Structure 1
Amino acid sequence: MLDLESILALETLEDVEPTEALGAIALLVDYAMDTVDPEMTTRALGWADRLESRLTADTDLALLDYYRANAWANRHNEARQDCTRAWAWDQEPLQQQLLLLRRALNRVTFEDLPSHVQCQILTNLGNQLSFVGRFIEARELWSRAVTTLPKFWMARFNRGNGLMAYARCLYDDGHRCALALSAHTDMTDAITDLDSHPHYGDPRLRRNFVAVASQIAEHVDLASFAAGYDAEGSSLGDDAGEQAYRKWCLDHCLFLNPLNDTGPHSIAARDVMQLPTFATALDEKPVVLGLFNQLKQEFVSARWLYFEGITTQGMHFSDRDVALYNTLDYPALGLAAEKVKVTFRMSYSLFDKIAFFLNHYLKLGIPVTQVSFRHIWRDKKTGVLRPAFENTENLAFRGLYWLSKDFFDPDLKDTTEPEARACHDLRNHLEHKYLKLHLMMQPELASTSEPFDLFKDDLAHSLTVAELEQRTLRMLKLARSALIYLLLGMNQEERRRRAATAADDRMGSMPIYMADDIYKQRFV
């Protein structure tokens, strides 16, 4: 293996064996970070570009993705030192890190990597998502790293740090204190793990960790709050069916409730999030109340349909005596499968409706027929970010913007989230074409010289039931995140507006009442 001195003397890796070249790139990236040397970072990225075609093992390609992402992190660290550059919504180094880390994570051999490398990839991806405002999805990645290696303190501390970023965006004092308590616990546990397992990161971070944890304790009376906080004292319902449903929602973090992001605690088993306090002009109607009602109702209804679809046992009576063909490719038919399909469509449609909400609330002036979640952020003619978003210090709205990059755009296919095309194609076939579900997939023919396959359906977009359920759950989780980011971003925008409004121009308040449950019944 080449040592650092030999690597620094090289101009090219063409004559170096591929696996050894991979190690050389890793060392050079670390050296560039330690010395803050942009020229070494550029050299490492150039070497990585040329090495990719020489690597054949998928695990080596995953490592190359990880090392490349670290090189782009070196470039990104320069920008983060400047507040204005750090708040820029478009940052190529950040985009590259997200794409490369996700590509490493999505490789089929990811779990063949050493456990600590898996945790480093998961933690770094979580860090970058949190930086752009997607702290909810980031938490899932950090938690996955902690599950893989319980003593991996970098993931645990960053999970706590991400919870504090979340807490600062909240507008309910109780929720904010609960997240601060959970964050502080993660941080102090991470410090303990750092002392016993310093090799999982840079132990020089300990001083900073202690300072951040102490700052939380200075601003929040954690002991008093913890004494009166009963996370497990709430009912999950009156019967076994409701209890099973609410427990499932808690376990998958699907309640519109920030407390669910601290864990599957019974106190979080309610969809309590509402619009923040907001102001309207005297001649403007508060129509966003009804619009948000509909967004929330569609989400919780889609969530229930999915639960029914994946837990129903046996055939529903509505499917009895429905004459369908057996296509001899293990078809999955029936109402339960259709409920999962409907859930995917409902969840996917929520994003364009969130864009519709933003278009009205921020007065973007986009014609209604042209509003979409993927394209609301930029001026259609110039392609630049709209003034309502550009460089604004609204972390949650920035999170929504970066979430929109998870949706496939054929014009931006090289910079789109790796699974976005699959979800885009699935939605396209559900809405306009033909999706066929299978209990299991038949193996593909070895080559085109094989006999004609009578039962291969070339017209269909084929998935197994498990694949559809997995993608639908992912879409539900993203929809939940988007709705929460919408509320938190609106709260930040209202703070900005209040600060910009002269005291004499402020108006009185109008009470808003919660709808009684009678309005949730069917009237005949």
Structure 2
Amino acid sequence: MSLTYEEILTLEDLNCFEPNQAVYLLGLIFETGREYGRVGDIKIGLKFSEKQNLRNFSDDDKMTFHYNLANGWSYLQGLTQNLNSDDFWNFDLVELDQQIINLRQSLVFSKNAQDNFKKCEVLTNLGNLFSHIGRFSEAQLYWQSALEIDSSFSMAKGNIGFGLFHYAKILYDDGHKFLFFQFAYKYLNKAIVSDIYDEAKIGFQGIVDLLESRFHKKDLKKIQNLTDFSIGDTELEREYRIWSLQNRLFLNPLNDVITDNIAGSDCLLLPTMTLKFDKPPIYQTIFNQIKQEFVTARHFLFESVNHKELHYSDKDNLQLDILDSAIYSFNTEKIKTAFRMCYSILDKIGYLINDYLNLGFKSDRVSFRGIWNVHDKKSNKLQLNDKIIKTQNWAFRGLYWLSRDLYEKNPEFSYPIEPEAKELAQIRNFIEHKSFKIIEHGESGLYDDGLTLVVHREEFEKKTLKLVKLIRASMIYLSLGINLEEKRKHISSHVFPIEFVKYRDEFKR
């Protein structure tokens, strides 16, 4: 079939073409629309995508299809949104929804795809998008994942540097801040000398010039020894801390950048805060609690994954083997407990934000998914809370978008942007209220007429690790979001500093 570009735009759909041709044409329409500012072309491409039958598509074709579709939504946003207006800080845009959903779908199909270059593009674009919406901690992991596939992928290097530069600016620890600047300088310079497009090179060079105007070059290049730090007194503790470092699970922004020993501590706290004289340090109290719960959940996960020996409490616990490959043990209960604790932490974060931003929810009506919205009487629908939008807070914006990863039964809530959201919510529901079974052999799914949810052990471990990482990111956004708010406070009266001493390890019994 030989058609001109304009004739292709008049078609009903692209299903008459071979999968690779349809993917190519969709990409062509979006790129042409972007280059010539033709919003109509992009909208036609988006309509084509809605009608596209993917049944005969390979995983490579599906990966590229969703990648192109994400680009289409990005170009539509770029051509219709004024980046210098308040639209830039809009917490909720359908264009952003669709970019995230399609890039994540592309990433799912990339697992069995062969095109490594396209995989790196998907991961890099996900990192860029997550950084934009305030999920800057997770953005670093996407960019690092691209470099794990191809260590020479220059746009990932450049965006790591770009992201670290902006991430550094909202840190409250000056030592961490300068180390971030050093790594930003390192990655940006690597990207600049490589073969990247001019617009990116100019942007990266601008940040390098800015850093060199503030610091001496030799200081930016001289990164301290990052390994000469203790990570434990026993072999078991060192194993635990190395595992946590490699999985980037420490409550420490440095662990987003490096896995060296220096990042092997949970040093994240709330920043210095100014409170009314009669206000107790409730935020520090809540943060202490959720931090301890996170560290405990992380250790439960570590033990369950790495130490599967028989526990003495399981001895002489009489149970029946009904030949279903199920595992009932202290070990599996630890990972189930870690999973439950993670969801509990999210609601406590919502509880803290509700009070800190004075959102007005009654304490027994607070949930992490629900605090971002208020009921609009005119439309009789939920809408984003103006108090949150007006903060224009990058990290709080990230927390909002992180909440969109969660599934909520209430149809008034926006649909989740995480492909596994409904499945994770189902697991939580069955663990808490129903029959839940972990197996080592067989297939996951609903059994016993829907009464029992069965999940393979390795699959459950991966999902719990993913959830633990999500909680870690949420705590970083909470701390740094509050830091941004505290910096903006206008203090007109006298302030009396109160110093809290460090809670000593010997008291932790």
TM-score range, shorter chain: over 0.9
What letter is aligned with 1:515? Y
Contact 1:89/1:391 (<8 A) preserved? no
Task: Please report how far the alpha carbon of residue 154 of structure 1 lies from its aligned counterpart in structure 2 after TM superposition.
Answer: 1.2
Task: Tell me the residue number matched to 2:300.
Answer: 305
What letter is aligned with 1:155? A
The structure-2 alpha-carbon separation of the partners of 1:356 and 1:113, relative to structure 1 and needing over 3 Å to count, comes to same
Task: Tell me the residue number matched to 2:25.
Answer: 24
Task: Tell me the residue number matched to 2:484.
Answer: 492
What SS class does the counterpart of residue 285 from structure 1 fall into?
coil
What SS class does the counterpart of residue 406 from structure 2 fall into?
coil
Residue deviations 1:318-364, cap 9 Å, x none?
Answer: 11111112121211221111111111111111000000111121222
Alignment of 1:392 with 2:391, yes or no, is yes
When normalised by structure 1's length, the TM-score is 0.90
- 2:255 alignment partner, one of 241, 257, 260: 260
- 1:512 alignment partner, one of 473, 477, 500: 500
What SS class does the counterpart of residue 384 from structure 2 fall into?
coil
Instruction: Measure, in 2, the Cα distance between the counterparts of 1:211 and 1:409.
Output: 43
What SS class does the counterpart of residue 53 from structure 2 fall into?
helix
The structure-2 alpha-carbon separation of the partners of 1:58 and 1:329, relative to structure 1 and needing over 3 Å to count, comes to same
Structure 1: which 5+ runs fail to align? 445-452
What SS class does the counterpart of residue 437 from structure 2 fall into?
strand
Instruction: Measure, in 2, the Cα distance between the counterparts of 1:126 and 1:193.
Output: 20
Task: Please report how far the alpha carbon of residue 53 of structure 1 lies from its aligned counterpart in structure 2 after TM superposition.
Answer: 5.8
Instruction: Measure, in 1, the Cα distance between the counterparts of 2:12 and 2:184.
Output: 46
Q: Percent sequence identity over matched residues?
A: 32
The answer to which of 259-268 and 205-214 deviates more is: 205-214
Q: What RMSD over aligned residues (CA atoms) do the two structures have, in Å?
A: 2.3
Task: Please report how far the alpha carbon of residue 61 of structure 1 lies from its aligned counterpart in structure 2 after TM superposition.
Answer: 3.0
What SS class does the counterpart of residue 373 from structure 2 fall into?
coil
The answer to which of 20-29 and 49-58 deviates more is: 49-58
The structure-2 alpha-carbon separation of the partners of 1:398 and 1:15, relative to structure 1 and needing over 3 Å to count, comes to closer
Instruction: Measure, in 2, the Cα distance between the counterparts of 1:313 and 1:17.
Output: 52
Task: Please report how far the alpha carbon of residue 371 of structure 1 lies from its aligned counterpart in structure 2 after TM superposition.
Answer: 0.2
Instruction: Measure, in 2, the Cα distance between the counterparts of 1:312 and 1:457.
Output: 34
Q: How does 1:144-223 map to 2 (within 5 A)?
A: 144-194=145-195, 198=196, 202-221=197-216, 223=218
- 1:242 alignment partner, one of 212, 237, 242: 237
Count matched residues.
501
Task: Please report how far the alpha carbon of residue 82 of structure 1 lies from its aligned counterpart in structure 2 after TM superposition.
Answer: 2.6
The structure-2 alpha-carbon separation of the partners of 1:225 and 1:205, relative to structure 1 and needing over 3 Å to count, comes to closer
Instruction: Measure, in 2, the Cα distance between the counterparts of 1:110 and 1:31.
Output: 29
What letter is aligned with 2:383? V
Instruction: Measure, in 2, the Cα distance between the counterparts of 1:24 and 1:160.
Output: 34
Q: How does 1:4-43 map to 2 (within 5 A)?
A: 5=5, 10-13=10-13, 16-19=16-19, 20-43=21-44
The structure-2 alpha-carbon separation of the partners of 1:10 and 1:21, relative to structure 1 and needing over 3 Å to count, comes to farther
What letter is aligned with 1:95? D
Task: Tell me the residue number matched to 1:83.
Answer: 85
What SS class does the counterpart of residue 176 from structure 2 fall into?
helix
The answer to which of 56-65 and 161-170 deviates more is: 56-65
Structure 2: which 5+ runs fail to align? none
Instruction: Measure, in 1, the Cα distance between the counterparts of 2:405 and 2:56.
Output: 28
Task: Please report how far the alpha carbon of residue 484 of structure 1 lies from its aligned counterpart in structure 2 after TM superposition.
Answer: 0.8
Task: Tell me the residue number matched to 2:219.
Answer: 224
The structure-2 alpha-carbon separation of the partners of 1:204 and 1:360, relative to structure 1 and needing over 3 Å to count, comes to closer
What SS class does the counterpart of residue 274 from structure 1 fall into?
coil
Task: Tell me the residue number matched to 1:480.
Answer: 472
What SS class does the counterpart of residue 435 from structure 1 fall into?
strand
Instruction: Measure, in 1, the Cα distance between the counterparts of 2:85 and 2:444.
Output: 54
What SS class does the counterpart of residue 388 from structure 1 fall into?
helix
- 2:460 alignment partner, one of 455, 468, 472: 468
Alignment of 1:353 with 2:325, yes or no, is no
When normalised by structure 2's length, the TM-score is 0.93
The answer to which of 110-119 and 461-470 deviates more is: 110-119
Contact 1:52/1:61 (<8 A) preserved? no
Contact 1:187/1:213 (<8 A) preserved? yes
Task: Please report how far the alpha carbon of residue 138 of structure 1 lies from its aligned counterpart in structure 2 after TM superposition.
Answer: 1.2
Instruction: Measure, in 2, the Cα distance between the counterparts of 1:424 and 1:98.
Output: 20
The structure-2 alpha-carbon separation of the partners of 1:186 and 1:226, relative to structure 1 and needing over 3 Å to count, comes to closer
What letter is aligned with 1:437? I
What letter is aligned with 1:342? T
Alignment of 1:94 with 2:86, yes or no, is no
Task: Please report how far the alpha carbon of residue 443 of structure 1 lies from its aligned counterpart in structure 2 after TM superposition.
Answer: 8.9
Task: Please report how far the alpha carbon of residue 126 of structure 1 lies from its aligned counterpart in structure 2 after TM superposition.
Answer: 1.3
Instruction: Measure, in 1, the Cα distance between the counterparts of 2:223 and 2:473.
Output: 28
What SS class does the counterpart of residue 241 from structure 1 fall into?
helix
Task: Please report how far the alpha carbon of residue 281 of structure 1 lies from its aligned counterpart in structure 2 after TM superposition.
Answer: 1.0
Residue deviations 1:62-83, cap 9 Å, x none?
Answer: 3221111111000222325233
The structure-2 alpha-carbon separation of the partners of 1:37 and 1:304, relative to structure 1 and needing over 3 Å to count, comes to same
Instruction: Measure, in 1, the Cα distance between the counterparts of 2:74 and 2:338.
Output: 37
Residue deviations 1:432-463, cap 9 Å, x none?
Answer: 1121000021599xxxxxxxx9x967421100
Contact 1:132/1:402 (<8 A) preserved? yes
What SS class does the counterpart of residue 229 from structure 1 fall into?
coil
The structure-2 alpha-carbon separation of the partners of 1:281 and 1:400, relative to structure 1 and needing over 3 Å to count, comes to same
The answer to which of 4-13 and 252-261 deviates more is: 4-13
Alignment of 1:365 with 2:360, yes or no, is yes
What letter is aligned with 2:285? G
Contact 2:59/2:112 (<8 A) preserved? no
Q: How does 1:333-352 map to 2 (within 5 A)?
A: 333-352=328-347
The answer to which of 378-387 and 68-77 deviates more is: 378-387
Instruction: Measure, in 2, the Cα distance between the counterparts of 1:161 and 1:187.
Output: 7
The structure-2 alpha-carbon separation of the partners of 1:238 and 1:80, relative to structure 1 and needing over 3 Å to count, comes to farther
Task: Tell me the residue number matched to 1:128.
Answer: 129
Contact 1:87/1:392 (<8 A) preserved? no
Instruction: Measure, in 1, the Cα distance between the counterparts of 2:220 and 2:155.
Output: 27
Task: Please report how far the alpha carbon of residue 10 of structure 1 lies from its aligned counterpart in structure 2 after TM superposition.
Answer: 4.2
